[in-house]
Structure 1
C-alpha cells in the first residue's frame, strides 16, 4: 500500500534496476565475478589465462585469455541481457556441455562496475573494445590493439550499489575467496596454464600439467594429501568416477578440501556428499570430514545443471543409481586399501605360513577408582569396547562414555577456560616443525598471530610460504601439528564474527585430542578419562556433557534386552 492507504499501481521495472536485481543473484562478491569470467574463458577454448587482482577485487579484476575471441559485431550484444552463443533452443538445456549458458554474467557484472571488454579473433588485423562506465550512458566501442583472445576489466565493483559494497569483507578475506576459486578451476583442467597476481605480486603460476597432474594436486591439496591418498578409477555403464581419495588419516575438521566435478563443472550436491560420507562411515572420527578430489563423467542429458544461477547445484535423472555408484566405488577402494594395510601389519612367520596378529574388539579392565560427580571414589569395573566406548558401573549407576567425544570435550573445555582466564598453557615442540603453506596462508597466520597465542599456538613465519611451529596447546599432548595448523588455517579463512571465530577455532583444535589415540585403553587411561570428565563437568553445558557421557537407565536396558 502507498502512503495514505492507496494501492500501488503495477509498472514495468527499468532495465537498470532489472540488471542490478539479476546481478544480486549471480554476483555476490569479487570471487563471483572471477568465476563467471573464468568459465567464459574456458568455454572459449582458452589454454592460458592471466588473472590480475587489486585490493581483493574491489578495485580491479582483469582476466586475459587466449581463447577464440568475440566477433566485432557481437561485442555490444555480448554485454546485453540474456545473450549467449551456447544455447539455441529449449532442447539445448538438456545437453549442456559448456560451463556458462544463461547469458546473464557479463550484463550483470557491467551493471555494477566500470566495465571494459576487449577481444580479437584470430586472423583479424586488430581487436575491438567496448566500455560501459555507467548504465545511463551508451556503450563506447572502438578499435584496440590486442592479441588473439579476450580481456575483461572490471573496476570499482559495486560502486553504484553502496549497500552491497558495505557487505564486502576485508581485502585479505575477499582475496582468499578468489584464490580458493582459482585453485578449484586449476584442478578442473590440468592442461590449463593459469597465473594469479594480487597487487602486482604473483601468487602462483600453474603451467600445463596434463602429463603430470599429481604435481598440481600436491601443490594445491598439500603434500600430506599426496602421500596419504589413493587413486580411484571405477566405471559403470556410461558413468566413470576417477580422481584421488584421501585416506582417513588426512580427514579434516572443515570441508574446505572437498572437490567434486561433474563433467568438468565444480558442483556441490547433498546426494554426492552423502555418498562420500557413507563410504567413510566408521572410518573417521565424529566431526571430521573426508578429503577428496573426484571427477564424475556421465551423459550430459542425465543431469540438469540449470538449477540455480550460480550453476553449482545439480539434479540427476537417476539419483539413486548415481548415489549407489559413487558410494560403491569409494567403499570398494577403501576396503581394498584396508586389506592391503592388514597384509603389511606386524605378523608372525611360521614356515611358509603368515599369521597376522589379531586384536580383540572388547577389553575388560578392572577400574581401581571410578570417580563420581561428587568426587568420591568407589570400586568399579569397566568394559572398553574397541577403544571407542566405555561401559562402566559407578555409584550413580551405569554410564556409557564415547571416548573420542570425551577427549574432545575435555580438550575444548580446557582450551575455553584458558582463553577466558587469559592463561597461556602451551608446551614447546621438542624439534620445531616446518609447515609449507601458500603465501596467502602465511599472511593469514601473521595477521592472527596474537589470537593464536592465546590457546597456546606459537607459530613463526620463516619464509614467504613457510611456517615454523614452536609451541602447541598443553591440552593437546598428542596432536598432529601439521594437520592441526591446516585446520586452523581453514577456520581463519571463513567469514565469521569474532565470537564465532573463537568458538570455531577452539572446536577445530579440540578435535585433535584423538590424533594419538590407540585402539586399546589401559585401566590408568580409563581412570584418567573419568577424572578429567568430572573435573570439567561444571564448566560444560548439559548438552555438551551428554555428547561424551550418558547415564543408562536400568529399566531401559532391561526393556532393550527383553524386547
Structure 2
C-alpha cells in the first residue's frame, strides 16, 4: 500500500504551474499583470526564441522592498489581498500569489528590484529542491526586472508539447496586445530576437488611442468602426464596435474587458451575437473592442486559474445592458453626408478597390431625428415635380401590392395563410413629407438616382461620387423593419391549443420551465409544469402556430439552461417575418422610374440597419471620385 507523503515545495509548485504556466505567453501574462498592478507606466519585454529560451520584463513601478523579496517567490504570498472582503471586491489583475512561485519552479528565474522608498536594489532567486531563496545586492533603478530563462528545462514532458517558435511568439504577442488595449496610459515595448515589434507610447487622448488601436488591430478596424460610450444602472460600456460590413470569418478580432481585465464570457458573447443577429451574413463574426466598468463587488473574477472567466452577480442585467446598447448603436447608423468620421481617414495611395459603405461618412444618429439635408424653403418646388414624386411612390407601392397579392403569407395577428397585404414602400409620414414645400439645400447622403442597371442595381450620384444600390436587398430590409415594428408594438396574439402538447423533460428542465414562465409569456407562449419530469404547452403565438412548437420549446429550455437567457422565440418570429419581407420586396428586372428609385433611396436613409439586407448582405456600395479617377489614370 502506498503511504501518504508530503510533497516537496518545488514539486508542489510544478504541479501548480500546470494550471498557471501553459506556455511562454502565460508567463508574460502573469508578469505583465504584476507590473501593471505595481503602477508601471512603461513596460519593456525582450523575448528570445518565442519566449522558450528567454523572457525579460522590466518595469518602472513601485518595486519590491528587500524584506519582501524572499516572500515574493513563495506560494500564496501576495500584496493584493489580505481578507475575504478584499477577495470579494478584487480591483487588481493578480491576487492569488501563485505566479512567481510557479514560474520559478519550471525555469531559471531571477528577480531584481528597487522599491521607491529604498536607495539600493536587490536580486533574489530560488534554488534547490526546497526552493530556498537567496537575496543579493544588485544595481537597478526604481522598478523591477524579471529574467526567465530555459522555460520547462526541468519538465521535459511539458517542453515537448510546445509548438514552433513562430506559433509560441504569436500567442505571446497576442497577450501583449490585449494588455496594451486594456491600459492606454501605459507604454509597451516588445522585441523578439533583438528585433523591435511594438513601441507603444502612453496614450493621453482619443486620437492617440485610435492610433494604438490601428497599430495593434489594423487601420481598417478604425475606419470601419463606431465609437460607443453609454452608462445605465451602475454600468458603463465604452469602446469601438465594427460595422456589420467589417465582419470576419473567425472570432479573432473580439476584445472584451471587465474593469480592465480581458475576459471570454459566454454571457457577453451571447449578448453581442444577439445584437448583430439581423445584420451579419451567415457564418461571419463581428469585431469589437469594448470595456465594461462596474462595481468590483458585483463581479467574481476568482472563477478560473487563468482568470479569463468571470461571473456576474446580476447576469441578466449585464446581458440586457450589453445587448440593448450595442443593438441600438448599430440600428442608429445612417448614411450622413456631413457627419464627422469615426476614425482616421488616411488611405493608401495605391488602393484602387471599390470603397465599402464605411467610406461614406456614417452617423449613428437616432432614427427619430430630423434629416439635416431637408429644409423648408421659401420657394416651393414645381407642382409637376411633386406629382412626379407622388406618382413614383404610388407605382412602387402598387408594384408591392401587385406582387404580394400573388404570394401566400402568414398574417401576424391571426396566423392564417392568406394573400399578403400590400407592403408599401413609404409610410404615411413619408408620403405627406413629399407633399410639403421642401427643397434640397444639399445632396442627400445616398444622392439622387440617375439610372437603373440591368433591372438589379440603382446608380445614384452623391456629393462624394457614385453609389450602387441593390434594390431588392434594400427594399427587403425596409419592409422587414416595418413588419417588426408593427408586430412588436402590438400585444403578441396567442392562440390556445385545442390539444395541448405534452413534453417529457428532465427534473432540472422542469424546474427551469417553472422558474421561467414569464420568459415564455412575453412571446405569447404559455408553458406549465405538469409533473416532476413533464411540461405542457397550452398557448402559442399565432405567427408560430404552424411551426415545430415542441422543438422550439425544447431549444429554448436548452438555451436557458446554458446561458440563463434565450432569444430563440424572438429569432423564430423574426425569421418568419424576414421570409415574408423577402418575398414581398421588389424583384430583379423590375423597371423603376427615377422618382421610384429616389423614393427608395430616401427610405433607406431613415430605416434602421439599411446597410444590410435581412440575410446580412450589403445593400449599397460607394465609389468615390478618386476611385473613379484611378480607374482612368486621371491626375497622373
Select which of 323, 329, 332 maps to 1:333. 329
Contact 2:177–2:216, Cα closer than 8 Å, also in 1: yes
CA contact (8 A) 1:52 1:61 kept: yes
Higher relative contact order (CA closer than 8 Å, sequence separation 6+) = 2
CA 1:332/1:129 → structure 2, altered by over 3 Å: closer, same or farther? same
User: Could you say which residue in structure 2 is the equivalent of 1:166?
Assistant: 160
Whole-Å Cα distance in 2 between the matches of residues 250 and 184 of structure 1?
A: 20
Q: Which of 234, 237, 242 is the equivalent residue of 1:238? A: 234
Match of 1:305 among 282, 301, 304: 301
CA contact (8 A) 1:183 1:220 kept: yes
TM-score, with length taken from structure 1? 0.61
Moved more, 194-203 or 133-142: 133-142
Shift of 1:8: 2.8
Give yes or no for contact 1:111–1:135 (8 Å, CA) kept in 2.
Answer: no
**TM alignment of 1:155-554, pairs within 5 A:** 155-211=149-205, 212-338=208-334, 351=381, 522=588
1:521 Cα deviation (Å)? 7.4
Any idea what the Cα deviations from partners look like across 1:99-141, whole Å, max 9, x if unmatched? 0000000000001000100000124222000123554563221
Cα distance change on mapping 1:339 and 1:147 into 2, 3 Å: same
Distance 2:131 2:218 in 1: 48
Displacement of 1:309? 1.1
C-alpha displacement of 1:84: 0.3
1:32 to 26, 35, 39: 26
Q: Secondary structure at the match of 2:93?
A: coil
Q: Is the radius of gyration larger for structure 1 or structure 2?
A: 2
Instruction: Name the structure 2 match of 1:74.
Output: 68
Q: Which residue of 2 aligns with 1:87?
A: 81
Query: Are 2:9 and 2:131, in contact at CA under 8 Å, matched by a contact in 1?
Result: no
Question: Residue 333 of structure 2 aligns to a residue in which SS?
Answer: helix
Q: 1:264 to 1:216 in 2, by over 3 A?
A: same
Query: What is the CA distance between 1:339 and its match in structure 2?
Result: 7.3
Provide the C-alpha distance between the structure 2 equivalents of 1:346 and 1:521, rounded to a whole number of angstroms.
Answer: 30
Q: Kindly tell me: are residues 85 and 522 of structure 1, through their superposed partners in 2, closer, same or farther at Cα, counting changes over 3 Å? A: same
CA distance in 2, matches of 1:223, 1:362: 46
Structure 1 contact 115–152 (Cα < 8 Å) conserved: yes
- The whole-number CA distance in structure 1 between the counterparts of 2:52 and 2:402 is 60
3-state SS, counterpart of residue 25 of structure 1: helix
> Any idea what SS the aligned residue of 1:187 has?
helix
- Contact 2:214–2:221 (Cα < 8 Å) also in 1: yes
Name the CA shift for 1:206/1:521 in 2 (closer, same or farther; >3 Å).
Answer: farther
SS of residue matched to 2:46: strand
Q: Deviations over 1:280-329 (max 9, x none)?
A: 00201111110000000000000000001111100000000000000000
SS in structure 2 at match of 1:249: coil
Of 4, 9, 21, 1:10 maps to 4
Structure 1 spans left out of the alignment, 5+ residues: 1-6, 366-383, 391-518, 524-563
Q: 1:22 aligned to 2:24?
A: no
- TM-score scaled by length of structure 2: 0.54
Candidates 37, 48, 53, aligned match of 1:54: 48
Shift in Å, 1:351: 3.9
Write the distance in 2 (CA, Å) between the matches of 1:31 and 1:287: 29
Q: Is the 8 A contact 2:228 2:238 kept in 1?
A: yes
**Alpha-carbon distance, 1:204 to partner:** 1.1
Single out whichever of 60-69 and 87-96 deviates more from structure 2: 87-96
Q: CA deviation at 1:166?
A: 0.3
Q: Could you list the runs of 5+ residues in structure 2 that have no partner in the other structure?
A: 337-361, 405-469, 477-584, 590-636
Equivalent residue of 1:139, what SS?
strand
Displacement of 1:385 after TM fit? 12
2:508 paired residue number = none
Deviations 1:172-198 (A, max 9, x none): 110011111101111111111110000
The separation in 2 between residues aligned to 1:361 and 1:215, in whole angstroms, is 48
Measure, in 1, the Cα distance between the counterparts of 2:400 and 2:25.
49
Q: Tell me how many residue pairs correspond in the alignment.
A: 371
Give distance in 2, aligned partners of 1:271 and 1:123: 44
Using the alignment, how far apart are the partners of 2:381 and 2:162 within structure 1?
70
Task: Tell me the alpha carbon deviations over residues 248-283 of structure 1, each in whole angstroms, 9 at most, x when there is no partner.
Answer: 111101111101010111111000011000000020
